Amino acid sequence: MPVKIFSGSGSLELAVKIAHSYGTPLGALERKRFSDGELSVAFEESIRGEHVFLIQSTMPPAENLMELLLMIDAARRASAKYVTVVIPYFGYARQDRKDRPRVSIAAKLVANLLSAAGANRIITCDLHAGQIQGFFDIPLDHLSAISIFVPYIRNLVKTHQLNVIFASPDMGGVARARAFASYFNADMVICDKQRKRANEVAAMQVIGEPEGMDIFLIDDMVDTAGTLCKAAEVLKEKGAKSVRAICSHAILSGKAISNIENSQLEELVVTDTLPPRVENHPKITYLSVADLFAKAIRKIHDQESISTLFI
């Protein structure tokens, strides 16, 4: 059964890299807009009886999600045998529970929409919370960018002779930071933050001993960068020698770029699951997940285990 890879407009640059790494051209997809802005998509080649991979991150605006749903529906109606949806960045993942009365659980709603549209399988990377996998009633492959970050960190440690320690910018990311620390037999510290409202840190305390250490802050995403910048400031005040941040998804909204520029962070290392907000920024390094997703696509199509993609 042949493989065909298509991309939504929100992840086109990454999709081109994935298709190139896989060794096949990106499929032709037509996008049209009515005068009122309504979106329409159509496959410009036959996909009957084929395994179709649709690549699109579901970051705002919501039209990215809508475009993906239309692509899935069009593929089913065009008689694709199997539709696998590749979502490098799963948007709305932060709304994964009722943290106050009368709110929606958007992550579950998006999972339902993808299944209802006709997706057979989901491939994604570094969900905000691992339990979101349970929101899906179809198979989901949860990749981790740790296999990309660890070699990069090892090279930094070797090149600059770093005395490395890992840190979580909040209590919720402890398991993520501990996973990184395990590959280096390193210790870790925790930054315990308190918020007054979303995207605004009111106070932060450090649990552990960062003095004299080269710290890597680990998080799944960087949005306004407020938490990371505050953590870097507090860690430097506690005697840290240097602070770098490792984040899978570079949302970088609002004043994120200026926050990073004026922060104590020496470097922010991210992946290209989202389109880059800036090019050649002195403090921001992009690593590509294209090869990781291309390998996952090949193994899934060949019905092989993807466990070898993890370190």
Residues acting as catalytic residues:
193
What does the radius of gyration of the chain's CA atoms come to, in whole angstroms?
20
Q: How many residues does the chain have?
A: 311
Q: Which residues pair with 242 in a beta bridge?
A: 214
Give, in order, the Cα–Cα distances in Å from 109 to each of 49, 100, 246: 29, 17, 29
Q: Give the integer Cα–Cα distance in Å for 235 and 134.
A: 35
Nearest to 245 by CA among 233, 258, 254: 233
| SS percent in the chain: helix, strand, coil, step 5 | 35, 25, 40
The Cα angle at residue 199 between residues 196 and 201, in degrees rounded to 5: 50
Q: Which residues pair with 197 in a beta bridge?
A: 200
Q: What is the DSSP string of 61-114?
A: STHHHHHHHHHHHHHHHTT-SEEEEEESS-TTTT--S-SSTT---HHHHHHHHH
Q: Give the integer Cα–Cα distance in Å for 265 and 256.
A: 13
Structure tokens at 193: 């933050």
Sheet with 242-250: list strands edge to edge.
Answer: 200-207, 188-197, 164-168, 214-222, 242-250, 267-271, 284-287
